[in-house]
Chains A and B, each alone.
Chain A
C-alpha cells in the first residue's frame, strides 16, 4: 500500500489536483501545497480553532482531517469567503469593534461566526459564545468579538 495519493477536489471554486502524502493534514495541504496561508496552524490538536475551514459546507478543523480524505470534496477557506464577499460585513465589523489585535485567530473566528449567522436571526450572546467556544482568542477577551458578530446579525436581519 502506497503512502502517497492523487487527490482531486475543489478549493474556493477552483478544481485542484495534487499528489499528497497520506499523513498530510488538510490545513498543511492548503498552506504548503496551495499557498493559501489564511488558514492558520495553532495547536494542531483540535483545541484552538485557528485552522477552521469549510468542507462540503460545514466547518471543520483543518488539523483534524487529512488532505487525502478530501478527495472529491468542496473546500472553502477564508480566502474564498473573502473574495466572494460573503463575510465582508463580518470583517468590517471585526475591524471597527476591535474584535482582533494580532489577528491570528480571526480567519477561524470569521468562519465559525459565519457558520452561526448563516442560520439566520439574531443569536443571543450566549449562543454566539457557545458557537465560538472552539475558537481561542488570546488578545481580545471575546467581548468585542461577540459584539461584532451580534451587530452583523442585526444588520443582516434588517437588510432582509
Chain B
C-alpha cells in the first residue's frame, strides 16, 4: 500500500493553486486525512498534488455580518478549541468530537471535509442543517454556493475543476437558536452508521424552522422534511413515524437497520432541541 508517483507543488497563494488546478488530474492537498489514505490505497492516483497547507488567511474564524466565517484550512482541533465557534456556531462545536480521532483532528481541515463530501461525514450535514454556504475561489474570482446546492452526489460537489473551497459560512446563533447532534458509529470517531445534525428556533415551548440533516443514509446529506414538519408541530413520535428517508444497505448496516437507527437518533436529537437553552 504505497501511493503511485505524483508531482508535488506547495502553492504560495490561492491564485497559484487555482492556476495549477488547470492541469488534468491535479488534486488539492489540505489536511490530507482522507486524500492520503486514498492515495495509499491507490483509489486515487493524481498526477499533481497541490499542497495548500500554510496558505495565509485561510484559517481564520470570525463573525462577519451575522455569519460565522470559518477559513477552509481551519483544522478540526482548532475549531474544537474555539470559543467563538462554541458560542456562535454550537452545532459545529457539538459535531467536532465525533470527527475522527485526536490525531486526525490535528491535521484534518473543515474545508477539506466539506469539499471531500463523504456522505457519512458530520460537517456536510451540519452545513446543510444550518443553511450554511460555501465560498469558492476560481479563475473568475469568488462565488458563494448554498449548502443545499453544493452536495451533488457521492463525493461530488458543485466545485468546478479550478475552484478552491476557501471558506464556509453559517448564520451566527441567535438567542432562540436550538441545535442537536447525535450519531451512531461502531467506534467513537469512525464514520457514522447514521448521524443527525439539526437546527431549529425556539417558539414558545415548541420549535419552528426545524432542519434535520441526516448523514450516512444516502449519497449526500439528506433532509427529512416531513419529519421536520411533524417535529415543528411538537410531536416527536409522529416525526419518527413519518421519517422520510430511504437508506440503502452498505457495509455498515442494512437500509432497514439504518432507518430504525434514524428514528432512534431523531428522538435523542428532538430532546436536545426542546431542552436546550
Contact = CB atoms under 8 A, between A and B. Distances in A.
Given A28-B2, A63-B40, A1 B103 contact: no
Given A60-B107, A66-B36, A131 B7 contact: no
Contact of B36 (A2, A65, A115, A129): A65
Interface string A1-36: 111010000000000000001110100100000000
A130 to B, nearest CB: 6
Contact of B4 (A23, A116, A131): A23
Contacts of A87: none
A133 interface: yes
Interface in A33-81: 44-46, 49, 52, 58-61, 63-66, 68-69
A100 interface: no
Give chain A's interface secondary structure class.
Answer: mixed
B8 A134 contact: no
A115 B102 CA distance: 9
B6 interface: yes
Contacts, number: 97
A112 interface: yes
A64 B40 CA distance: 9
B33 A133 contact: no
Interface in B1-33: 1-9, 29, 32-33
Contact of B103 (A5, A22, A25, A52): A52
B97 interface: yes
Contact of A46 (B4, B6, B53, B104): B104
B40 A65 contact: no
A134 B76 CA distance: 15
B8 A22 contact: yes
A5 B6 CA distance: 12
Q: Which interface residue of A49, A66, A135 has the most chain B CB atoms within 10 A?
A: A66
Kindly state the interface size class of chain A when it binds its partner.
20 to 34
A80 B101 CA distance: 23
Contacts of B4: 23
B6 A3 contact: yes
Given A23-B3, A44-B1, A60 B103 contact: yes
Contacts of B39: 23
B43 to A, nearest CB: 10
B41 A3 contact: no
17 contacts: A1-B7, A3-B8, A22-B7, A23-B2, A25-B2, A45-B1, A45-B41, A46-B37, A46-B100, A59-B106, A65-B32, A68-B8, A69-B32, A129-B188, A130-B188, A134-B100, A134-B101
| Pairs A-B, 5 closest by C-beta atoms | A134-B101, A22-B8, A45-B37, A23-B3, A1-B7
Given A63-B40, A131-B102, 10 more contacts: A3-B6, A5-B8, A23-B39, A59-B103, A60-B106, A64-B32, A64-B104, A134-B101, A134-B103, A135-B101
